[in-house]
Chains A and B, each alone.
Chain A
Amino acid sequence: MNPRLRWKTRAFAFIVVFSNAFGNLFLKWGMGHGAGIITPSPLSFLHAIFNPWVSLGILLLVLWLLSKMAFLSWADLTYVLPVTAFGYVVNALLGRFFLGEEVTPARWAGTLAIMAGVILVGLGNPNHVPQDTGEPRL
């Protein structure tokens, strides 16, 4: 991997992971603080969306979507998925330290397994030449 691509890959992995983790944190906080109860009515969704915390969460998730799209323009989906899975670890930590959620030994073990998987995949190249000459079939 050339240094420019390595730098770009690391920067985008960082943005994707943290925009998603903090976006989810703000959504969860907003849903528990003033967003009201979600019912099948569209009005309840609108009420929730305009809660300031939920709005901030949505803004971060828009950033996450755009940065993930850019990341996918040069990296394989099978590379992006495990590498950005580090976000689940960040989410578990944010849930523990900001929301006071219980993190059991099993969850810590899960955190270690995800980190191992991320490191394993992250050591390889972000993209491969397609295995055969066929076009993707979507």
Chain B
Amino acid sequence: MKAWLLLAVIIGATVTSDLLQSFEMKRHGEIHDFRPSGLRLVLATLARKRNMILAVVCMAVSFFAFLPLLQVADLSFAVPASAGSVVLETILARLILKERVDMRRWLGAALVACGVWLLAL
């Protein structure tokens, strides 16, 4: 019961964090400069974005729920089970981020979701 509760917290926080990150990074634009000075500038810019701060907070919530989950579950269960968010995120990316999800991506996401379910058995 404790493991499933922790899993629900992890999935909720991960979905929120990924959507916020994707939205903010698309708004920022493609990163071209991977030199330390360029990366510092990117991080300084992103650290002032409200959505990115919220995304990091959600990720921290997910992390602090993941630590106790690792104490009560196998790694080969905890990681794939926490990825049950893939289908939910695909649907929300289509609805909220307005990404174009073609048949190939739906099929790929469905295969990944089936695989995650099998791994968690």
The interface residues of chain B, by DSSP majority, are classed as helix
> Do the beta carbons of B98 and A121 come within 8 Å of each other?
no
> Do the beta carbons of A88 and B96 come within 8 Å of each other?
no
Q: Which of A31-75 contact B (CB under 8 A)?
A: 31-32, 37-38, 45, 48, 54, 61, 65-66, 68-70, 72-74
> Do the beta carbons of A88 and B115 come within 8 Å of each other?
yes
Which one, B31, B59, B108, contacts A70 given CB within 8 A? B31
> Do the beta carbons of A121 and B104 come within 8 Å of each other?
yes
Chain A CB within 8 A of B112 CB? yes
Q: How far is the CB of B98 from chain A (nearest CB, A)?
A: 5
Q: How far is the CA of A135 from the CA of B25 in the complex (A)?
A: 14
Chain A CB within 8 A of B20 CB? yes
> Do the beta carbons of A78 and B109 come within 8 Å of each other?
yes
Residue in B closest to A122 when the chains form the complex, CB atoms: B108
Contact-size category for B: 35 or more
Residue in A closest to B87 when the chains form the complex, CB atoms: A81
Chain B residues within 8 Å of A124, by CB: 102, 104-105
> Do the beta carbons of B101 and A28 come within 8 Å of each other?
no
Chain A residues within 8 Å of B119, by CB: 88, 92, 106-107, 110-111, 114
Chain A CB within 8 A of B12 CB? no
Q: How far is the CB of B52 from chain A (nearest CB, A)?
A: 8
Residue in A closest to B63 when the chains form the complex, CB atoms: A61
Q: How far is the CB of B58 from chain A (nearest CB, A)?
A: 12
Known: A45-B64, A81-B86. Contact between A73 and B108, CB under 8 A?
no
> Do the beta carbons of B109 and A81 come within 8 Å of each other?
yes
Chain B CB within 8 A of A3 CB? no
Q: How would residues 18 to 31 of chain B score, 1 for a CB under 8 Å from any chain A CB and 0 otherwise? A: 11111101101111
Residue in A closest to B97 when the chains form the complex, CB atoms: A136
> Do the beta carbons of A117 and B115 come within 8 Å of each other?
yes
> Do the beta carbons of A72 and B25 come within 8 Å of each other?
yes
Residues of B within 8 A of A (CB): 18-23, 25-26, 28-31, 34, 43, 46, 51, 56, 59, 63-64, 66-68, 70-71, 74-76, 78-80, 83, 86, 89-90, 93-94, 96-102, 104-105, 107-112, 114-121
